[in-house]
Amino acid sequence: MTKTRDQLLALCLLDDSDLPLDRLALLFAAEHQQLSLDSVAQSLSAIDRLANQFLTAFDAVSDEQLVRFLFHQQEFKGNAQNYFSAENSYLNRVLDRKRGIPITLALVYLSVAERIGLTAEGVSFPGHFLLRFSDAAQQLFDPFSGRTLSPSDCQTLLRQTQGPRAELEPQHTATANRRDLMMRLLENLKQCFWQQRTWSSAELCLDQQRLLRPHQLALNLQLGNIRELRGDLDSAKTIYAQLIESSKDSEIGQLAAQRLMAMGHSRKNIH
């Protein structure tokens, strides 16, 4: 077991309110890139420097000044040209390149805001992660585009990401807790690898998600699916059988049974 994994195991046991978002995100990224803990420390120092630069440049601490600093002066912006690159989900690379996707850019804002004493929180908006500042509770901020969004803007964004009939509901703009934010970050990364059919990296994302949510059986079902796709059929069968035994009356158990039956009819299993 690596030192990085040791730290992740310890941090994931913390209560939600105590989870250090920046360190967790950097440790997850370090595992994927096989980086040392020194690299994680360097990235944390880079965030410290951003906070110190802000405090030097501005007399007042406010959300408007933070946006001015990070978006307009430091130019942390959305990577529209290469949106689906895995690097957009690695916080260390986002800090280096100042380009990312909504959730990793939001992490930069949240990390700096915490250091300068500004209250900010993530909003797990469907298809596009957003931020809420305490000074503007009725409005949300999009770190990808640098725009402040009114409820009407949010309705428009929802229909762009979810379809023309989608209607804005209170749960769409609810605050994301820290564990859910990390789960979504890893989900984005997992989807990148899934589309690329890079199964070993997708499985690592699942393994990391299971550190955060060890009792979420849907993750075990996905693990069985990945093992199938990797050709490790015996392992997949074992995972499905365990799910059937532990959750036979649930939807997860039924899905596992369907997968196991499908494998039994597969030509790959005819000897």
Residue 226's pLDDT band, with cuts at 50, 70 and 90, is very high
Give me the count of residues in the chain: 271
> 181: which residues sit within 8 A by CB, 6+ positions away?
21, 103, 107, 122, 124, 129
Cβ atoms of residues 233 and 268 within 8 Å = yes
Structure tokens at 144: 């990808």
Secondary structure of residue 78 in the 3-state scheme: strand
Structure tokens at 270: 């005819």
pLDDT in tens, 146-204: 999 999 999 999 999 999 999 999 999 999 999 999 999 999 999 999 999 999 999 99
Residues 248 and 115 in one domain: no
Residues 256 and 144 in one domain: no
Residue 33 pLDDT > 50: yes
Structurally, the chain folds into a number of domains equal to 2
> 44: which residues sit within 8 A by CB, 6+ positions away?
22, 23, 26
Residues 85 and 23 in one domain: yes
Output the pTM of the full model.
0.93
> 86: which residues sit within 8 A by CB, 6+ positions away?
32, 189, 192, 193, 201
Residue 269's pLDDT band, with cuts at 50, 70 and 90, is very low
Tell whether 104 is covered by a domain.
yes
Tell whether 207 is covered by a domain.
no
Residues 165 and 236 in one domain: no
pLDDT in tens, 70-124: 999 999 999 999 999 999 999 999 999 999 999 999 999 999 999 999 999 999 9
Query: Which of 121, 149, 173 lies at the terminal end of a domain, its last residue?
Result: 173
Structural domain that includes position 251: 215-269
Tell whether 200 is covered by a domain.
no
What does 25-50 look like in DSSP terms, one character per residue?
A: HHHHHHHHHT--HHHHHHHHHHHHHH
- Closest residue by Cα to residue 122 from 79, 167, 179: 179
Bridge partners, residue 131, by sequence: 122, 141
- Provide the pLDDT for residue 195: 93
pLDDT in tens, 249-267: 789 999 999 999 998 765 4
Query: Which of 173, 206, 234 lies at the terminal end of a domain, its last residue?
Result: 173
Helix (H) or strand (E) holding 243: helix 233-246
